[in-house]
Every structure is written in C-alpha cells, then in structure tokens.
Chains A and B, each alone.
Chain A
Amino acid sequence: MGMIALGAAIAVLTGAGAGVGIGIATAKATESIARQPEAKGDIRTALLLGCALAEATAIYGFVIALLIIGKM
C-alpha cells in the first residue's frame, strides 16, 4: 500500500513540467501582447493551444496515478 501510494505520487510529479511550460508560454504571450496589442486574438488562440498541449502531459501523469491507485 505504502509503495503504491509513493508510485502514484511520483507519477503526479509530471505536473511540475507542465507548470513550467505553461508559465513560460504565458510569459511570452504577455510580452508579445504588450509589444503588439493588435495581434491579441491570434496570440490568445496560439497560447490556448500550447497550454492545452502542455497540460496534457500533466493529465497523463494524473491518469497514470489514478490507474496505479485503482490497482490497489
């Protein structure tokens, strides 16, 4: 039980990578909106797409963690 919970916790660590990735993407998006406010719409679309793709890795970790816990 203890080791399984530890395994699930390690799987959820993927969230760190997604957090860093989305943070960098948002920083760049804010920067580019400040530089070119007229391109706001396009930037927002690209940012949402990038965030969704980056977030997917965190979600995979979460799903794996749930599968591990479900095995108990």
Chain B
Amino acid sequence: MDNMMEELAAKTAFTIPIFGGIPIADSCVVTWIIMAVVVLLSIILTHKLKKVPTGSQCILEGVMDWLDNFFTDILGHKGKKYLPFLETLIIYIAFANLIGLFGFVPPTKDINVTAALAGVAIIFVQAAFVIEKGPLKWLKSFLNPINLLDLITRPLSLCMRLFGNVLGAFVVMELVKGLCPIGVPVIASAYFDIFDGLLQAYVFVFLTSLYMAEAIEDEEQH
C-alpha cells in the first residue's frame, strides 16, 4: 500500500542547478521523449510523399483524413483554421496515454499536465470566440452568469476526467499485477492502456471541439 502511494506521486527526474534549482518533473522528461518521437515520425512519414500513396503513406493519409472529417463535421467549414491545434492535441494525448505500454510513466498521470492541457484548450476556445465574433460580443456573453461558471467548470471537468481515468487505469493495473503477474495483465492492459487511453484522448478533444463549435457558431441561424 505504501509502495503504491509512492508510485502515485509525481516524481522529480532531476534538478537544473540555477536560480536555486529548478525541479524538472518526470512527466516533463517523458513529454520531451514524446515530442522527439512525434517529430521524428513526422519527418520520416512525410519524407517521400507520392501522388499515389503506398505503404505507410496510406496509413498516414487514412488517419489524417479521419481526423479532418471528424473535426470538420463538428466545427463546420468555419472551423477549418482551428483543425491543426485540435489534431495536435489528440495526437499528443494519445501518445501520452499509450506510452505506458513502453514502460514509461504516462505524463497524463500527473495532474499538472492535465490541468495545463485543459487550461490551454479552454483559452483556445475563448480565443476562437474573440476571433470569430469580436471582443465586444465576448464580453457581452458573460452577462449570462452560466457562461462565467462554464469558464471554471469546463476546464476542471476536462482536467479531472483525463487525470482520473489515467490514474484509475494505473491503479487497477498495479493491483492486477500484484494479484496475478502472469497472463492476466496482458488482457487488462489491452483494455486499460490501449482502449481506455485512446478513448480518453478522443473524449478530451471531442469535448474541446464541441465547446469550440458552440463558441464560433453563427447566431443568425437560430
């Protein structure tokens, strides 16, 4: 039990010895690894693009097509310019949730990471509102106190949902490993690490894009 609580805490990987020491968390180091992997993959996969796709380019185009269609369905054509951000978000969270498979600690297990992600998402949604409708309308929207409340509850629930799911999966996996270390963890990992991790990445970005669709929709249509 004590061992487990220790596992749950966010650890410090190392400390930069300037300004009295800046602690660098584990999640930050793993995020650097994810960044390196994603950048390398992008370079390798887009290295020799052909008119007629073959091999890995087929998979790449399939994934990007699916993402494009998924977000355009929700946001409409107006939201086209916001697609890169949302796609980056889903790719990062998916990688972060899946990296547990390779023996790293998923960065999304650290509440600071999910809080930052939720904060970025909600700031982006508000920024899209200002860009699409102007700052005056943005200020006017807060005359409805529900919108003010949404500013707090939405990032809170986004952050807690992702954090709680990843942490819950981690705890259950540790318990299963303690109970029966052979065979069973493989099946449990397929559900908790792969299915749940991808589902949570999907849900996080899906909710963000729903909020955004609400922020940039035309009022004249109603």
Instruction: List residues 24-62 of chain A with CB under 8 A from any CB of chain B.
Output: 45, 48-49, 52, 55-56, 59-60, 62
Are B202 and A63 in contact (CB-based, < 8 A)? no
Which residues of chain A are within 8 angstroms of B199 by Cβ–Cβ distance?
48
Which residues of chain B are within 8 angstroms of A49 by Cβ–Cβ distance?
203, 206-207, 210
| Alpha-carbon gap, A24 to B71, bound state (A) | 28
Are A48 and B203 in contact (CB-based, < 8 A)? yes
Which residues of chain B are within 8 angstroms of A45 by Cβ–Cβ distance?
206
| Alpha-carbon gap, A56 to B163, bound state (A) | 11
* Known interface pairs A48-B203, A52-B207; A66-B160 also in contact (CB < 8 Å): no
Dominant SS among interface residues on chain B: helix
- Interface residue count for B (Cβ, 8 Å)? 16
Are A59 and B161 in contact (CB-based, < 8 A)? yes
| Alpha-carbon gap, A6 to B179, bound state (A) | 22
Are A62 and B164 in contact (CB-based, < 8 A)? yes
| Alpha-carbon gap, A60 to B157, bound state (A) | 9
Are B8 and A66 in contact (CB-based, < 8 A)? yes
- Pick the contact of B165: A48, A59, A66, A70 (CB < 8 A): A59
Are A69 and B160 in contact (CB-based, < 8 A)? no
Which residues of chain A are within 8 angstroms of B206 by Cβ–Cβ distance?
45, 48-49, 52
Closest A residue to B162 by beta carbon equals: A59
| Alpha-carbon gap, A63 to B207, bound state (A) | 20
| Alpha-carbon gap, A56 to B165, bound state (A) | 9
Instruction: List residues 121-171 of chain B with CB under 8 A from any CB of chain A.
Output: 157, 160-161, 163-165, 167-168
Are B160 and A56 in contact (CB-based, < 8 A)? yes
Which residues of chain B are within 8 angstroms of A48 by Cβ–Cβ distance?
199, 202-203, 206
Which residues of chain A are within 8 angstroms of B164 by Cβ–Cβ distance?
56, 59-60, 62-63
Which residues of chain A are within 8 angstroms of B163 by Cβ–Cβ distance?
63
Of the A-B pairs whose beta carbons lie under 8 Å apart in the complex, a sample of 6, sorted by A's number, is A48-B202, A62-B168, A63-B160, A63-B167, A66-B8, A66-B167
6 closest Cβ contacts across the A-B interface? A59-B164, A52-B203, A63-B164, A56-B161, A62-B164, A62-B168
B residues lining the A interface (CB < 8 Å): 5, 8, 157, 160-161, 163-165, 167-168, 199, 202-203, 206-207, 210
Contacts A62-B164, A69-B5 supplied; 4 other A-B pairs, CB < 8 Å: A48-B199, A52-B161, A55-B165, A56-B164
